[in-house]
Amino acid sequence: METTTSTIDEIKTLVAETLGITDRLDSLKASTSLLGSLPELDSLAVAELAAEIEDRFNFQIDFSDVTIDIFDTIGTLAAFVDANRP
């Protein structure tokens, strides 16, 4: 499944809202690095973001399938959502 611009935009907004960085929303791109690049994205924030993804996109995340690569960039997170949403 191809990741859509719509999903990327939804993920950008979700990341910005969850991390409290809505003032930087316009600077977030599909290629924006997440883990290791955004100081706000710590282990607790990853858990919060995962819960928000489950709520917004209506699917359960199987954490045994989750790898660090999913949280590499906005684009990889959007691709994960598109691959798992109903």
Instruction: Give the chain as a DSSP string.
Output: -PPPHHHHHHHHHHHHHHHT-GGGGGG--TT-B-TTT-TT--HHHHHHHHHHHHHHHT----TTS--GGGGSBHHHHHHHHHHH--
The helix-helix angle for 43-57 and 5-19 (nearest 10°) equals: 130
Confidence of residue 66 (pLDDT cuts 50, 70, 90): confident
Question: The domain spanning residue 48 has which CATH number?
Answer: 1.10.1200.10
CA distance 41 to 83: 23
User: What is the extent of the structural domain holding 14?
Assistant: 5-84
> Per residue in 8-43, pLDDT tens?
999 999 999 999 999 999 999 999 999 999 999 998
Confidence of residue 72 (pLDDT cuts 50, 70, 90): very high
pTM of the model: 0.91
More confident residue, 71 or 4: 71
What is the predicted pLDDT for the residue at 1?
52
Our count of domains for the chain comes to 1
What is the predicted pLDDT for the residue at 39?
94
